[in-house]
Amino acid sequence: MTSRFPSRATAFTWLVTVMATGHLTLVIATGRLRWEHVAADVLLMGVAWAGPRTRRFLAGGFPLWLTGMLLDSQSLWLFVRGTIHTGDLWELERQWFPAPGGTHWPEWWSTRFHPVLDLFCGFSYAAYLYEVFVVAIFFFVKKDSRFERLCWAFLAVNALGVVTYLVYPAAPPWYILQYGPGPANLAALPSPAGTARFDALLGINYFASFYSRNPNVFGAMPSLHAAYPFMVTLFVWHRGWAWRVSAVLFAALVAFSAVYLTHHYILDVLAGLVAALAAFLAVEAVFARRTVPAPVAVPLTSRGDTRA
């Protein structure tokens, strides 16, 4: 006798299909359709229907797709954001973390850049996102439960970032250097800032293309660039000193690059670390509750004596 109810795998496959189709419908209806949307959604459905092995990857990695859709749809919610902060954050940074001469570190570095630093910092700024994917795939191949936890933490830290962008929208340093600390210029276009020097060194337009698709200029606080590598560091810490040192050095390079390339303040970097830690602890707490073994009932004798 067969069940009239679909299996969990079939239900999940159809859920993914409906969400991917719904997302495509949304981007078409809002006039935002690009080839990346079609590729991501078709790939998602293909993985869901390909079979149990790919579905096992999707079951844990589904938050990665959700994260992409969350970040991509920011422009739809900007009408609810609060007052945009420009000069106040600029002044607070100068008071708390003054550079030589009483200026700001992003401003100080903007006139003291060097091709070697441009190369290393540009590389880290390009690789920060891929590090998450590489480590996630490594955990999946190793059948490590951290695969699913990392994917959910990635969604959580991005959700924290997007909510903060709406509650406390803040202009990045490059914006202040270009437009000044006055009232926010809502017509300001996204800029690759210091990463343009990396493009010029290699004769490419990677960052120019990447930032041209940025839907939110006023999303400096917190720095998700700093958050991702720090979160990865927390997840690989258990694997020993080689992993720890590599992860910490890369996280430190990305954090420095965020300031050096004038994309973020030190305050943004610190906020990114706090967001990463909060996402990590929240996901770990949820998964710890899921894995707590159920209590085993012990039969009692007629007199309540449990001894054999």
Give the chain's largest Cα–Cα span: 85
d(CA 161, CA 247): 22
Q: pLDDT tier at 299 (50, 70, 90 boundaries)?
A: low
Q: pLDDT tier at 84 (50, 70, 90 boundaries)?
A: very high
Residue 41 has pLDDT above 80, yes or no: yes
CB contact set of 151 (below 8 Å; sequence gap of 6+): 60, 61, 62, 63, 64, 136
Report the pLDDT value the prediction gives residue 57, as an integer from 0 to 100.
83
pLDDT in tens, 226-247: 999 999 999 999 999 999 999 9
> Nearest 5°: CA angle at 99, between 94 and 105?
80
d(CA 258, CA 269): 8
Report the pLDDT value the prediction gives residue 307, as an integer from 0 to 100.
46
Average pLDDT over residues 44-53: 81
Average pLDDT over residues 141-163: 95
pLDDT in tens, 87-126: 888 999 999 999 998 888 999 999 999 999 999 999 999 9
d(CA 113, CA 101): 17
User: Is 59:12 a contact under the CB 8 Å cutoff?
Assistant: yes
3-class DSSP assignment, residue 219: strand
What is the percent of the chain where pLDDT is above 70? 91
Residue 205 has pLDDT above 50, yes or no: yes
User: Is 220:170 a contact under the CB 8 Å cutoff?
Assistant: yes
Q: Looking at 52-56, 189-193, 249-253, which range is the least confident one?
A: 52-56
User: Is 8:43 a contact under the CB 8 Å cutoff?
Assistant: no
d(CA 71, CA 150): 17
Structure-model confidence comparison of residues 154 and 9, the more confident one: 154
CA distances from 119 to 24, 195, 258, 264 (A): 37, 9, 13, 18
| Residue whose entry in the numeric block shows the structure tokens 């540009």 | 122
Residue 308 has pLDDT above 50, yes or no: no
Which residue type occupies 5?
Answer: F
Report the pLDDT value the prediction gives residue 306, as an integer from 0 to 100.
46
| CB atoms closer than 10 angstroms to residue 4 | 5
Q: Which of 255, 278, 277, 275 is nearest to 97 (CA)?
A: 255
Average pLDDT, the chain: 88
